[in-house]
Structure 1
Amino acid sequence: MNSIDYIFMNFPELETERFILRQVKAKDFEDLYELYSDPLAIKYQQAEAMSDIDQAKKSVIAFLKGYLNKKFIRWCIADKLTDKVVGLISLHSFDILNFRAEIGYMLNSNYLNKNIMTECAIKVLDFAFNIIKLTKVEASINPDNERSIHLVVKLGFKEELLIKGISFNFKTALFEDRVIFALTKNQYSM
């Protein structure tokens, strides 16, 4: 069994100074609804904002199934004091043969500018490189998403390429460009 298979046996809970990165719980649906109906949080997501609470309840099930089916690890970023979910961070698109994955994240706009995503991404990258033993983590970002680009550059990612028309947006029914950023284990220094 390789280390990537191992991480799908028991959900890997991580801890930072202010947050617990944990698996979604049924009770999180209200926080997820708040997140996925937040226009600023979903601005660069490829789906419409949630319009009713039942969609959030279904997302809880989808998160659990995604992990069970070894598709992704999607951590809820839960405040240590209140257990409120303020955002999500994930490793997904695993390339088992080459020990690579992509990182993704989103944050409730009420919690912007508090270094939350930096704190959590450092913990996830440490897990990716030192526990799973990935060799590379990539981020696929809309070129207009300056906040996300700033984050990955701050974390040490390097821009690798721009891919034109690679990502279909269900909101606009258009194909969008993506800038691919990457961080290798050798470059990682947090």
Structure 2
Amino acid sequence: MKFHLETERLLLRELRATDLEGMFALDSNPSVHKYLGNKPINTREEAQRRIQFVKEQYIENGIGRFAAIEKSSGNFIGWSGLKLNKGEKESLNGFQDFIDIGYRFIPKYWRKGYGLESAIACLEYGFNTLNLDIIYGAAETGNIGSNKILQSIGLQFVNKFEEHNEQVNWYELKKVNYGK
């Protein structure tokens, strides 16, 4: 299955084996994992397993995170997209079997608007192409940038919950409220 979205500055496409070095640079960076449980990966094999996990999601669920490629440079800068969180293992805030929106970028690409730009495209894809009824988002309360993006794309704060001893904000956007 091929995925391809474009924004003004980004190409969002399926993750590929050739994204290994970029995925390793992303997920081995402690700054990236500050609000993700502080568990960066240590090996390229772990990065390869993460790519394979997402590729399996494309096949099993018809959706998964997209590689984010900066058009001007052709560089892998991170990922953005939708994910089906299935079953008790991936439950969050008491929810199971839900679609969330997420994004993760290599730090040198932070504060350039790529998170917002990619999230807008992914939200549009979710509601207009996949015809989803609701999309959720979560961000640790201290992750100001991620919370701002979720709010900027229209997700509404629902509640705060605790996950791994951290406070997390939970958001949702229903298709009927999308674009209003």
User: Structure 2: which 5+ residue stretches go unaligned?
Assistant: 87-96
Q: Structure 1's 71 and 40: CA in aligned 2 closer, same or farther, altered over 3 A? A: farther
Larger Rg computed on CA atoms: 1
Structure 1 residue aligned with 2:27 = 36
**TM-score scaled by length of structure 2:** 0.84
Q: After superposition, where does 1:151-190 map in structure 2 within 5 Å?
A: 151-163=149-161, 165=162, 167-168=163-164, 175-189=165-179
Instruction: Work out the CA distance in 2 between the residues paired with 1:69 and 1:46.
Output: 27
Q: 1:94, CA displacement in angstroms?
A: 5.8
Structure 2 residue aligned with 1:70 = 61
1:120 and 2:118 matched: yes
1:134 and 2:132 matched: yes
Q: 1:176, CA displacement in angstroms?
A: 3.1
**TM-score scaled by length of structure 1:** 0.80
Instruction: Work out the CA distance in 2 between the residues paired with 1:15 and 1:57.
Output: 25
User: Structure 1: which 5+ residue stretches go unaligned?
Assistant: 1-9, 169-174
Q: 1:51, CA displacement in angstroms?
A: 1.4
Instruction: Work out the CA distance in 1 between the residues paired with 2:138 and 2:9.
Output: 27
The percentage of aligned residue pairs carrying the same residue is 24
Q: Structure 1's 46 and 68: CA in aligned 2 closer, same or farther, altered over 3 A? A: farther
Match of 1:113, SS state, is coil
> How many residues end up aligned between the 2 structures?
170
Q: Structure 1's 140 and 60: CA in aligned 2 closer, same or farther, altered over 3 A? A: same
Compute the RMSD of aligned alpha carbons. Answer: 2.2
CA contact (8 A) 1:100 1:134 kept: no
CA contact (8 A) 1:100 1:135 kept: no
Structure 1 residue aligned with 2:93 = none
Match of 1:186, SS state, is helix
Structure 2 residue aligned with 1:144 = 142
Instruction: Work out the CA distance in 1 between the residues paired with 2:131 and 2:6.
Output: 19
